[in-house]
Amino acid sequence: MPDSNRTPTAQLRADGSLRHLLTLEGLPTPVVRQLLERSAHYARPLSTPAARSNALVGRTVAVMFAEPSTRTRVSFELAARRLGADVINIEVQLSSRLKGESVLDTVATLEAMYVDAFVLRDADATVPDLVASHVAEHVSVLSGGAGSQTHPTQGLLDALTVRQHKGRIEGLRIAIVGDIRHSRVARSSWQAFAALGAEEIRIVAPQGLMPGEQEFKDCKRFTSLEAGIESCDVVMMLRIQKERMTALSIPDEASYFAEWGLTTERLRAAKPDAIVMHPQPMNRGVEIASDVADGPQSVIRDQVRNGVAVRMAVLEATLSGGRR
């Protein structure tokens, strides 16, 4: 069983190359920057063909998600295929996990079929790290989202998207708004923005959705949407994660939208050239109005497009150094 007191598995090999990507916390900033540079290399406009390479020909990637996903699962799969890897997609709900097989036995079974990398999503935030501590030396583990704690490739794609639109992250004022308490995206994106030199990162949420005081060190906290996004360069909206709440911490959706929904009028509090982000899935009319989500300041589609580029860069970086 996962042991929450275990020392986290090292993400870097002895030579400093990236072996696993489980969290952005503590990842050296030069490694984050290298991943972003490589992601930018793979990011192409939609008007041109998608980037491809043969970097991972002969390698096998298993995508094993125990929670729902559209963007992360599909983009990891596309990324691996576009690098020439074989990809298997394990539907956990149709696998022998349902007959009682442990995640470690499932992973060991797939390792025996020459799988070189596991991309994992699980409601239990300890699972990717647990698996990483048990796989063979040449095998990599990548988190595709772990409970409410980590979503490192989302943090990287958010940083890449901000950099594309603003030219930099250094010196920016960034507001992350909504259900911060339950959001792995908020944690990983904050870690990426902080590592890359954002001037001010704000977390903006109703009191019931704020994380504990020991988390999000150095962030400014706001419990009003208008005050929280005032003069910001970036406004990132988050979905309310009802699936992670033990008791509902918000009123009904209409009341939430009335106080916390990002509308065109409210967005005027941010800088006139502020960009609007959302990791999706989004609930239109709850945390964000449709005309803002689809409006001229929205870069939400770019976040999705950049997800493939970032996952190509991460798969390439982790698998290039780990030949069996």
Nearer to ligand CP, 192 or 269 (CB): 192
DSSP line for 153-165: HHHHHHHHHHHHH
161 catalytic residue (yes or no): no
- Residues in 195-254 at the binding interface with ligand CP, rule: CB under 6 A: none
Interaction between residue 161 and ligand CP (CB under 6 A)? no
CB contact at 8 A, 312 and 39: yes
The catalytic residue among 20, 121, 181, 239 is 121
Q: Pick from 13, 38, 71, 284: which binds ligand CP (CB under 6 A)?
A: 71
Nearest Cα residue to 191 out of 164, 218, 161: 218
Interaction between residue 279 and ligand CP (CB under 6 A)? yes
Phi, psi for residue 96 in degrees, rounded to 5: -70, 0
The catalytic residue among 13, 38, 41, 71 is 71
Q: Which helix (H) or strand (E) holds 267?
A: helix 264-267
- Sheet containing 60-65: which strands, arranged edge to edge? 86-91, 60-65, 117-122, 140-146
Q: Pick from 9, 34, 60, 69: which binds ligand CP (CB under 6 A)?
A: 69
Nearer to ligand CP, 144 or 206 (CB): 144
The catalytic residue among 48, 99, 246, 324 is 99
151 catalytic residue (yes or no): yes
Interaction between residue 133 and ligand CP (CB under 6 A)? no
Least separation, in Å, of the C-beta of 56 and ligand CP? 21
72 catalytic residue (yes or no): yes
* Sequence-ordered list of residues with C-beta below 8 angstroms from that of 130, at least 6 positions apart, any chain: 2, 6, 103, 104
Instruction: Please state, in angstroms and rounded to a whole number, the distance separating the CA atoms of residues 153 and 158.
Output: 8
Interaction between residue 145 and ligand CP (CB under 6 A)? yes
**Two tokens at 107?**
């992973």
Instruction: Give the position of tokens 């239109």.
Output: 284
71 catalytic residue (yes or no): yes
Stretch that binds ligand CP, among 25-33, 125-133, 246-254, 277-285 (CB under 6 A): 277-285
Helix/strand number for the chain, H first, E second: 11, 9
Stretch that binds ligand CP, among 70-78, 214-222, 223-231, 250-258 (CB under 6 A): 70-78
DSSP line for 10-28: P-B-TTS-B--BS-STT--
DSSP 239: -
Least separation, in Å, of the C-beta of 57 and ligand CP? 26
Instruction: Please state, in angstroms and rounded to a whole number, the distance separating the CA atoms of residues 302 and 160.
Output: 10
Nearer to ligand CP, 243 or 265 (CB): 243
Stretch that binds ligand CP, among 18-26, 69-77, 100-108, 268-276 (CB under 6 A): 69-77
List active site positions.
Answer: 71-72, 99, 121, 151
Positions that interact with ligand CP (CB under 6 A): 69-73, 145, 154, 279-281
